[in-house]
């Protein structure tokens, strides 16, 4: 896990390339991927890597109500099906402890997030042609045990 200013340029480039490859190219969503939120003081970038190559990534944002927003969850195509998204999410939830977290899940991934303790908090909506469901994990919920650690400086949902 690292803040923007802690990311070496090569690592930052690789993380942003993974996000663009998944969300803009693969999912065909031409949107402003570089939205200015990556460099906010409270933003944290969390990833799993094989050497210098990121395999799974997510971004944590601070919400005005004190919750953490999980977004930009993605896994490199060659690494899908290996459990990395779950491992990344569990490790991140372990790091966050009892803090309330929110996310906008692509609708087909609601079950995945449900197994991590998330519940639907509003109606389904469509963003960039993809159905999403707002979800939250309650404050104080028992942590989901992690399996391994996330990178510090060495499935796919956009926000």
For 145, which DSSP code? P
Structural domain contains residue 153: no
Tokens of 65: 């109500």
Structural domain contains residue 154: no
b (16+ CB within 10 A) / e for 114-141? eebbbeeeeeeeeeeebebbbbbbeeeb
Count of structural domains within the chain: 1
Tens digit of each residue's pLDDT (9 = 90 or more) over 95-108: 999 999 999 999 99
Structural domain contains residue 37: yes
Tens digit of each residue's pLDDT (9 = 90 or more) over 105-125: 999 999 999 999 999 999 999
Structural domain contains residue 87: yes
Q: Which stretch of 50-64, 106-120, 143-157 has the lowest confidence by average pLDDT?
A: 143-157
- The residue range of the domain holding 26 is 4-137
Tens digit of each residue's pLDDT (9 = 90 or more) over 34-49: 888 999 999 999 999 9
Q: Of all helices (H) and strands (E), which one includes residue 131?
A: strand 130-137
CATH number at residue 49: 3.40.630.30
Structural domain contains residue 159: no
β-pair type (101-106, 68-75):
parallel
Structural domain contains residue 14: yes
Structural domain contains residue 149: no
């Amino acid at each position: 896990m690292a803040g923007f200013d802690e990311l070496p340029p090569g690592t930052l480039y690789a993380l942003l390339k993974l996000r663009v490859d998944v969300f803009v190219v693969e999912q065909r969503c031409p949107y402003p991927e570089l939205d200015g939120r990556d460099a906010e003081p409270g933003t944290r970038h969390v990833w799993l890597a094989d050497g210098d190559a990121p395999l799974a990534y997510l971004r944590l944002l601070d919400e005005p109500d004190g919750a953490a927003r999980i977004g930009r969850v993605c896994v490199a195509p060659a690494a899908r099906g290996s459990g990395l998204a779950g491992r990344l999410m569990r490790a991140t939830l372990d790091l966050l402890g009892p803090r309330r977290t929110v996310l906008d899940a692509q609708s087909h991934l609601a079950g995945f997030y449900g197994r991590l303790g998330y519940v639907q908090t509003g109606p389904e909506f469509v963003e960039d042609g993809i159905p999403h469901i707002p979800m939250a994990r309650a404050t104080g919920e028992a942590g989901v045990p992690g399996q391994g650690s996330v990178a510090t400086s060495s499935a796919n949902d956009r926000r």
